[in-house]
Amino acid sequence: MKRHSDVGSLGKACAQCPARAAGPERRAAMVCAALLVIAGIGCWRAKAQTEESSQASATLELVHPGGPGESGPPIILTLRDAIERARKYDASFAAAVSDAKIAREDAVQARAAMLPSLGNSTQELLTKGNGVLPSGRFVTNDGIHVYRQWAVVHQDLSPTTYLLRGYRRASVATALFNAKAEIARRGLVVTVTKDYYGLVVAQRKYATAQQALETAAHFLTITREREQGGEVARSDAVKAELQYSQQKQAFQEAELAMDNARISLAVLVVPDFSENITVIDDLGSAQPLPPFGEVRAMAERENPTLRAATEAMRQARLDVSAARLYFLPSLSIDVDYGIEANAFALRSHAASDPTPGRILPDLGHFVTANLTFPVFDWGASRSKLKQAVYKEKQARVELTQTQREMLSNLYSYYNEAVAAKSEQETLHHAAELAAESLRLMGLRYQAGESTALELVDAETALTQARNADDDGQARYRVALASLQTLTGNF
């Protein structure tokens, strides 16, 4: 080691000194060598203390998604900004919103299916002649040239149509998917809130760990100085060095946790997965908790999970009604208006008319009515009815269970918010007391009135109290977000 080489060189220099003579000169040379050795050891200790103190602010060389060449100002986010960004980039929420939009279009199509449809048809039928009859070779035609120009009005008058079963079911499906989209939206708010305040707390814990590391380095310096002066035992110096090593490890772990928390939030709010984001620390400005009666009323009125279960029950009932309609007859009507003649004109000579030169009107209409009675389908209609009844029973069970779970979650989430709120003042006061205790204990230790173990305990108590205070504030924020999944914003 460098220490031994320096000391050895000092001893060698003294050995070669001309004062290495016998008698008083030899004793003077030995005293000089001893003083040089002590001075070398003191310099080495001072240098070691300086190096260890400079390591108090050392950080880990972590690998970041943006890389060292990342440029541009950071994205400054509030909680509202993070939620809005997550709604744009989260795939699960986008899928829920798309399902709601698709269901809305299904309702538009179901409504259109009940109304009469109007279409247009233009045809030209060319038939090969036979040289004798004017109708040509095919008995289905009345001439070798037939032109059709029809406007067709079609209307189904089945029980499903005049009872509005299809449209009602599509409307219920729209409400169901809207409720599911609202569930996804509120769930995304909870996820973003956890990651957002997880980063805020990680930053606070990083600052606390950095301060604790600086305090441990200062304590280590004082302890070594007092050890050299013979004021404390070697065990105090060992304890101080051990405390410094532990705080250095805790500081590195806090830095890693902060980096991981930033990456978790960046996945939700940044489309190109950049870690160049900064969050606003508003952890201490949470909104108050409303009374339970008001919260319960909001949950009964605004709970999307309960609304989704109710709409699923309505949908199952409509499916049962629609399955029963399979046993009833259906009627469809087609009204055709236009021409079907041997010439594309309003008036022309019919090829089948034996009177030469007679001009007849071509424009007219005809109506086709089709009445269908179900007779026998090998039990398929009855099987569909049974399936619908089974689904209705299952939907009823799920609705009742959802109601029970809603009440259970309401009590649980509200009690969690109450507990987190009540603990905030206690945790904050404990952090203030721990800071004051460390300050007083440091003064007592410098005055020689306390032991190193008491000072280390005070440092540990301060770190734990500050971290608990930060965790308590984040816990209340997350509890409010979880409660609002049942009630909506309040």
Rounded-to-integer distance, Cα 247 and Cα 211, Å: 10
pLDDT at residue 40, rounded to an integer:
39
Task: List C-alpha distances in Å: 98 to 87, 91, 104, 248.
Answer: 12, 10, 10, 50
pLDDT in tens, the chain (490 residues): 333 333 333 333 333 433 333 444 444 444 333 333 333 334 334 444 444 444 444 567 777 666 544 556 888 999 999 999 999 999 999 999 999 999 999 999 988 888 888 898 888 888 877 777 776 766 667 778 888 888 999 888 888 787 788 888 899 999 999 999 999 999 999 999 999 999 999 999 999 999 999 989 988 898 888 888 888 788 888 888 898 999 999 999 999 999 999 999 999 998 887 778 899 999 888 889 999 999 999 998 889 999 999 999 999 999 998 899 888 898 899 999 999 888 888 888 887 777 887 888 988 888 999 998 888 889 898 999 999 999 999 999 999 999 999 999 999 999 999 999 999 889 999 999 999 998 998 888 888 888 888 888 898 999 999 999 999 999 999 999 999 999 988 8
pLDDT at residue 474, rounded to an integer:
94
Task: List C-alpha distances in Å: 367 to 121, 143, 370, 476.
Answer: 16, 23, 10, 71
**Dihedral sign from CA coordinates of 313, 318, 319, 321:** positive
pLDDT at residue 485, rounded to an integer:
93
Backbone angles phi, psi at 28, to 5 degrees: -65, -35
- CA 218-219-223 angle, 5° bins: 120
- Enter the pTM of the model: 0.74
Can you read off the two tokens belonging to residue 308?
A: 């989704």
